[in-house]
Amino acid sequence: MSISLINPATGETIRSYEYMREAEVEKRIIRANEVYASWRKTSMSHRAERMMKAAAILREGKEKYARLMGLEMGKPIREARGEVEKCAWVCEYYAGNAAAFLADETVVTDASLSFISYQPIGVVLAVMPWNFPFWQVFRFAAPALMAGNAGLLKHASNVPGCAEAIEEIFLEAGFPKGLFANLKIPGSRVAAVIRHPVVKAVTLTGSGPAGSAVASAAGGAIKKTVLELGGSDAYLILRDANLGLAAKTCAQSRLLNAGQSCIGAKRFIVVPEVYDAFLEKFLANMAAAKMGSPYDETTDLGPMARHDLREELHSQVLRSIEKGAVCLLGGAIPEGNPGAYYPATVLAEVAPGMPAWEEELFGPVAAVIRAQDEAGAICIANSSVFGLGAAVFTEDVERGQRIAAIELEAGACFVNGMVKSDPRLPFGGIKQSGFGRELSVQGIREFVNAKTVWVR
């Protein structure tokens, strides 16, 4: 089957490619398992050397990889460079910490010696999205390979160049050939890979429907799964918030990666006392974002990754307006531009029943919601089926900390800052945003066998 790649900034066809034949996929799966048998016996120091080399290769090729992301999915060059740097960071983080994270843990019992031994489990399949085409992969691969596992990558169909580049990075870094392998297959063939006897687990970052399909296949085969799915992150603006900071941070989070981020701010829930003042500042920040070519150093807002995604987003905007939302900025597809651009858009007076309230807006569209009071704002934030991230803005840091730690229902809650992932902190969601954790010590322990050893 031939797939045509479209440059989202120009609408032009980049190239075409064919999916892998079944025989090649089978060969790569078997090879990964064979290499795993020896890789799992290597020392942590050896693995760390290879991972540090991968970090160096990423930094050396930063411009090349950044431009590749811009070509395939439209990421602005400044953001793309930052993504490459973050990938190098996660490689260095696990190279430096994996040995401690997976060290044997002695437990006092009735035995003369008893301890927990963390051992690799084998071949892990990663089903990854296009929105952060390098970062999503490396935040899985760095801990998985350092733990002694092998990795298979089924990447999104519109970023095959990124998938190939990542495989080449690990090869150049000295990892055994086949330990990390790219599977160029359509989504319809993922279930068969999950069911393959040598595949021991699967991790997916993507949409709810994709997560449900992968979880069903993995559950049927009784295989471990980690899912990081969609989000509709709520940012609460309380009456004592620093409105300048809040407006700037909210706009930055909403427009990052053209709004195509699971942990991007999407719902802005504001108490009545500061609603008008916040909205004025927020509109100014959103309107100031410059839309343009991914390769322009001054671009703040690049194109969306695909035209069909833009059409879906625009439909959500129009249907929300039909139900009573007020469009204060943007909301129209640019005329005469063949790229998949969509302007920074602000919808106010968003209420239940509207797509902007009920659904994830995966693009540069903000839903501003007027809350009755602080308790009402928290209630609205938690009413979503999603639970990935959330933030609260208040000058009372102790109150903000209490709300973030106890009252908001999400996997990552920030106070006076933008929700983001960090190798040092666990990352993941609850409710329909998925289950399991990536990054930190929790992330590397997702795909190991926590083995009890008891000795008399």
Residue 244 lies in a domain: yes
Region 244-268 average pLDDT = 98
**What's the pLDDT score for residue 288?**
98
Region 60-86 average pLDDT = 98
**What's the pLDDT score for residue 63?**
98
Instruction: Give percent of the chain above pLDDT 90.
Output: 99
**What's the pLDDT score for residue 281?**
98
Residue 428 lies in a domain: no
Q: Per-residue pLDDT for 453 more than 90?
A: yes
Give the pLDDT confidence of 384-420 residue by residue, as tens digits.
Answer: 999 999 999 999 999 999 999 999 999 999 999 999 9
**What's the pLDDT score for residue 106?**
98
**What's the pLDDT score for residue 291?**
98
| 326 and 360 belong to one structural domain | yes
Considering its fold, how many domains does the chain have in total?
2
Beta-ladder partners of 392: 236, 415
| 45 and 94 belong to one structural domain | yes
- Residue 333's Cβ-count burial label (10 Å; 0-12, 13-18, 19+) is middle
**What's the pLDDT score for residue 137?**
98
Could you tell me if 135 and 180 are in contact, meaning their C-beta atoms sit under 8 angstroms apart?
no
pLDDT band, residue 1 (cuts 50/70/90): confident
| 134 and 213 belong to one structural domain | yes
- Cα torsion for 266, 271, 275, 278, to the nearest 10°? -60
| 301 and 390 belong to one structural domain | yes
Residue 332 lies in a domain: yes
* Alpha-carbon span 451 to 449, nearest angstrom: 5
| Inter-CA distances, 454 with 121, 276, 279, 419, Å | 20, 64, 61, 42
Residue 387: helix, strand or coil by DSSP? strand
Q: What is the CATH number of the domain that holds 41?
A: 3.40.605.10
* Alpha-carbon span 418 to 427, nearest angstrom: 14
**What's the pLDDT score for residue 2?**
79
| 217 and 314 belong to one structural domain | no
Residue 123 lies in a domain: yes
| 209 and 260 belong to one structural domain | no
Give the pLDDT confidence of 96-129 residue by residue, as tens digits.
Answer: 999 999 999 999 999 999 999 999 999 999 999 9
Residue 277 lies in a domain: yes
Average pLDDT of the residues of the chain: 98
| 315 and 394 belong to one structural domain | yes
Instruction: Give percent of the chain above pLDDT 70.
Output: 100
- Residue 290's Cβ-count burial label (10 Å; 0-12, 13-18, 19+) is exposed
| 225 and 238 belong to one structural domain | no
Q: Supply the pTM of this predicted model.
A: 0.97
Q: What are phi and psi of 448, to 5 degrees?
A: -135, 160
Region 343-367 average pLDDT = 98
**What's the pLDDT score for residue 345?**
98
Q: Give residue 274's identity as a one-letter amino acid code.
A: V
| 211 and 241 belong to one structural domain | no
Helix %, strand %, coil % for the chain, to 5?
A: 45, 20, 35
Q: What is the CATH number of the domain that holds 292?
A: 3.40.309.10
| 323 and 252 belong to one structural domain | yes
Domain hosting residue 182, numbered range = 2-229+433-455
Give the pLDDT confidence of 321-335 residue by residue, as tens digits.
Answer: 999 999 999 999 999
| 179 and 283 belong to one structural domain | no
* Alpha-carbon span 429 to 427, nearest angstrom: 7
Residue 427 lies in a domain: no
| Inter-CA distances, 53 with 60, 133, 220, Å | 10, 20, 38
Residue 254 lies in a domain: yes
| 416 and 451 belong to one structural domain | no
* Residues recognised as catalytic: 228, 262
pLDDT band, residue 438 (cuts 50/70/90): very high
| Ordered DSSP codes for 126-174 | EE--SSSTTHHHHHHHHHHHHTT-EEEEE--TT-HHHHHHHHHHHHHTT
Q: What are phi and psi of 286, to 5 degrees?
A: -65, -45
